[in-house]
Structure 1
Amino acid sequence: MRSWLFAALFLLLGSAAAQAQATITLDSFGLDVEDDGATLAPQPQGEMAQCLLDQANCDNAEYKGATQLSIDDVVNLQIVDHEDIDENAAGLNQSPGNTASPTLPTLDVEILFDYDSDTLRADQGAKLNELIGLMNDPAFAGYRFGIIGHTDAKGDPAYNRDLSYRRAAAVIAYIADYGGIASGRLVARGLGADQLKAPADPFGAINRRVQLVAIPVKQ
């Protein structure tokens, strides 16, 4: 009974905060329509979605990713099989002669946890609901999402990798439970302190984050 009440309170607090803070809401989704009535492809809404798709022009220090992830990276991390990736999706087409693995849309999101805990805090509801809004955006209907956990460099590397995975899994559990996102579109991975956001400040809180990578998949 207590766990049910906590879940309901968590969702209520997150939803109320999201209305005040989030830049993406379900009401903001829509299709662009030309003068002749033809419907264009949906465009992603909000700063988080825009930064995901255009890191080069992202001015948000939090969302600005420290590392890029390529198709080869997500395959090696077993987030998705190579044959499932839609390499003809917008932004992934390569110029002739370019043999490098195309990079994928990615951004960092600071979702705070208490020390040595993988339990989601109620005050993180707004950020989590913003992630749900992004994933429900029609512009990302054909994407699978990897949630990659990161820690700072304090502590045992193996323990940090496990902790970062458990935190990423907690984020995915919330998104799947409260966001209506099919669990098959969500994959958790943990890298511990292997990819610090601020190598010059290895123990800094900025390194404790989850990284979202969006992968276009064949339908």
Structure 2
Amino acid sequence: MRAIVLAALIALPAAAQESEIFIPGQTTAPVIDAAPANALANCLANPSAATCTGAGAAPEGRTFENAGGGSDITFETLILDLNADTVTASPAPPPETPDYAAPVSTRATVALPSVAITIEFDFDSDRIRYDQTPKIASLIEAFRDPALASYAFAVIGHTDASGSDAYNCDLSRRRAASVTGTLLANYVEVSLTPVGFGEHVLKNTYDPNAPENRRVTFLRLPVDASAVLATAASVCGGY
């Protein structure tokens, strides 16, 4: 694996690739979006239990396997009430496959699948721990997949409930920004928007201080993303 630093890396960005099919009689060949070749890229673009199982595997081993033998990468559904500006998380898949190209009504409730990844930081810090470098390297390779070139993602930071609302919101924003900045510094050209949810969208609601609540969520955004991003920003909007 090429060396990855958590501040910047000089590397050539991957060139976007498109597949075309020519039909006689047409003056312009239609562009067909290529499917992601990278397994983690496919998980990020089309999150589900099936696409995300084993998506963190790398040549030298499972970079997303935690000490308990489970995976530090899972999918979860974020349910955004765009009218009430609230967000909840669910382990269940959305009732319908999202149509990312469709217009989004500000009065709608939108269920969007997302990828939750445990990325660990130094205590009380927004600095990504050095031992998380293999995860970051895998994310860089995934986001460099040409199939994701036209996509946009929200990078959402979460904390557990052990601190105050204001502190956790600030910490989650800084951690989301740290991950986003590291990816962009490593020549990821996908549109990434950092967002902080603090302790307000728990994965484990039965134990608010559980470690699985400390995570970074990658949410593929619809083409019409303004209402979704506005609701996401409102979660910690008071802090």
Q: Which TM-score bucket, shorter chain as reference?
A: 0.5 to 0.7
Give 2:214's aligned amino acid. R
Pairing 1:203–2:196 present: no
Counterpart-to-counterpart distance in 2, 1:104 and 1:10: 31
Maintained 8 Å contact 2:155/2:218: yes
| Residue number among 205, 212, 217 corresponding to 2:218 in the alignment | 212
Residue 33 of structure 1 deviates from its aligned partner by 8.8
- Seen in structure 2, the aligned counterparts of structure 1 residues 10 and 180 have a Cα distance that, compared at 3 Å, is closer
Query: Is contact 1:119–1:167 with CA below 8 Å preserved after alignment?
Result: yes
Separation in 1 of the partners of 2:36 and 2:82? 25
- Cα 1:45–1:133, aligned 2, differ >3 Å: closer, same or farther? same
Give yes or no for the alignment of 1:120 onto 2:128.
Answer: yes
Report the Cα distance in structure 1 between the residues aligned to 2:53 and 2:188, rounded to whole angstroms: 30
1:75-86 maps to which residues of 2 (within 5 A)?
none
TM-superposed deviation, 1:137: 1.6
Compute the displacement of 1:180 (Å): 3.7
The runs of 4+ residues in structure 1 deviating greater than 6 Å are: 29-34
- Asked whether the equivalents of residues 51 and 63 of structure 1 are also in contact (C-alpha less than 8 Å), the reply is no
Aligned residues: 181
Find the counterpart in structure 2 of residue 4 from structure 1.
none
Q: Give the distance between the partners of 1:69 and 1:134, measured in 2 at CA.
A: 25
Stretches of structure 1 lacking an aligned partner (at least 5 in a row): 1-8, 16-25, 78-89
Say what the alpha-carbon RMSD is for the aligned residues.
3.8
Distance 1:155 1:39, change over 3 A: closer
SS of aligned partner of 1:181: coil
Q: Distance in 1 between matches of 2:213 and 2:156?
A: 12
Residue deviations 1:110-155 (CA, integer Å, cap 9, x gap): 1101210111222212211222222222221211121110001101
**Is 1:109–2:102 an aligned residue pair?**
no
SS of 2:147's equivalent in the other structure is: helix
Matches within 5 A, 1:69-108: 69-70=79-80, 72=82, 91-92=99-100, 100-108=108-116
Between 205-214 and 63-72, report the one with greater CA deviation. 63-72
2:36 matched residue in structure 1: 44
- Report the equivalent of 1:142: 150
What is the deviation of 1:41? 2.7
Question: In the superposition, relative to structure 1, how do residues 162 and 214 fare at CA in structure 2: closer, same or farther (>3 Å)?
Answer: same
- Describe the superposition over 1:18-64 as per-residue Cα deviations: whole angstroms up to 9, x where unpaired: xxxxxxxx7xx977799xxx985311134433333132534465332
**Equivalent residue in structure 2 for 1:55, among 48, 58, 64:** 48
TM-score by length of 1: 0.65
Q: Give the match for residue 176 of structure 2.
A: 168
Q: Is 1:11 equivalent to 2:8 in the alignment?
A: no
Deviations 1:172-208 (A, max 9, x none): 11111113426xx221111111111111222121111
Moved more, 120-129 or 100-109: 100-109
Q: Which has the higher helix share?
A: 1
Q: State how far apart, in whole Å, the 1-side matches of 2:188 and 2:47 are.
A: 26
